[in-house]
Amino acid sequence: MGELDGRVAIVTGASRGIGAAIAEAFGAAGARIAATARTLEEGTNRLPGTLRDTVGRIRDAGGTAEAFAADLSVPDDRARLVSQVLDRFGRVDILVNNAAVTYFTPVADFSPRRMALMFDVQVNAPTHLAQLVIPGMRERGQGWILNISSVAARHPSIPPDRLAGLGATVYGMCKAALERLTTGLAAELYADNIAVNSLAPTQVVPTPGTLFHGLTTENDPNAEPPEVMAAAALALCREPASKVTGLIAYSQDPLP
């Protein structure tokens, strides 16, 4: 028996990197996976990895997975996503908010359009998706919401480090808001046995996105494989809320 047998998990941003690793780990643990991203095939940014790739790997390993294309910056797409997952699987037990649109630009040069898009995908979408799945979780008396964060949520040091020099302020604002959403929701849903946690990598993960932005290299000896985040995510989504909720965790915290 798998640790997540019988559960249905929505994993956003599942085309590649951390999202794909979490979807595959949860699928291997027995969950039925609703993998979502903006497109089924390669998007305009041409980063390697697609939803079809992720779903194919889960199925090849004997798991159950479906791909759902949704632009999470659009409220109607978010509502349609959850509706389609409920039509296909009948329930949502786990929500992993991993999707992100990220621009590294100093605040003085940040365009309003890009800032709005980042907040729509990284803050408004997780909030709205939680609102959509909470009623069903309450009805069943349990649920798990996991928000993927970053060390960028921490206040920068002065003098600033390299990350601040890359223009990570708006990215950090989004992740800080997501962490505050995590603790607030955990408090609101404590009596409903719904676990709400935040999880960030302990070290930078060499994903197509971090490589593209120059945050790490493929041979970085300090980098953390995405499988570490996947294992930590599984650890947080298999325990009841009475044991793990309201955590602002880093990937190596939940692991033995």
List pLDDT tens digits, range 129-157. Answer: 999 999 999 999 999 999 999 989 999 88
What's the alpha-carbon Rg for the chain, to the nearest Å?
Answer: 17
Measured between its terminal Cα atoms, the distance across the chain in Å is: 21
Is residue 243 part of the annotated active site? The answer reads no
In a domain, 3, yes or no: no
Confidence of residue 7 (pLDDT cuts 50, 70, 90): very high
Q: Residue 32: what are its φ and ψ, rounded to 5°?
A: -85, 125
Q: Is pLDDT of 252 > 90?
A: no
Establish if 2 belongs to a structural domain: no
Give me the phi and psi of 200, to 5 degrees please.
-125, 150
The residue-averaged pLDDT of 169-177 equals 96
Query: What's the predicted TM-score (pTM) here?
Result: 0.92
Q: Which of 59, 57, 7, 69 is nearest to 32 (CA)?
A: 7
Residue 57 lies in a domain: yes
| CATH number for the domain that contains residue 36 | 3.40.50.720
Residue 240 belongs to a domain: yes
Average pLDDT, the chain: 91
In this predicted model, which residue has the larger pLDDT, 191 or 162?
Answer: 191
Please check the confidence at residue 45 and state whether its pLDDT lies above 60.
no
User: What's residue 49's pLDDT?
Assistant: 82
Compare 221 and 26 and report the one with higher pLDDT.
26
At residue 41, the pLDDT reads 77
Q: What pLDDT was estimated at residue 186? A: 98
Catalytic residue among 73, 149, 150, 198: 149
Residue 91 lies in a domain: yes
Q: Is 30 left (phi over 0), alpha (psi -120 to 50) or beta?
A: left
Percent of the chain exceeding pLDDT 70 equals: 87
Domain assignment of residue 72, yes or no:
yes
Number of domains in the chain: 1
Asked whether residue 97 is assigned to any structural domain, the reply reads yes
> Cα(66)–Cα(59) distance, rounded to whole angstroms?
9
pLDDT-derived band at 159 (thresholds 50, 70, 90) equals: confident
* Residues near 24 by beta carbon (within 8 Å), at least 6 away in sequence: 54, 57, 58, 61, 63, 230
- Residue from 15, 73, 150, 175 carrying the catalytic annotation: 175
Report DSSP letters for 64-91, one per residue.
Answer: EEEEEE--TTSHHHHHHHHHHHHHHHS-
Q: Can you give the pLDDT at residue 158?
A: 85
> Which residue out of 171, 198, 250, 251 is catalytically annotated?
171
Residue 46 lies in a domain: yes
Structure tokens at 77: 């797409």
The answer to which of 7-16, 113-122, 200-209, 214-223 has the lowest mean pLDDT is 214-223
| Residue tagged 């989004």 (tokens) | 174
pLDDT at 220: 61
Q: Which domain holds residue 112?
A: 8-250
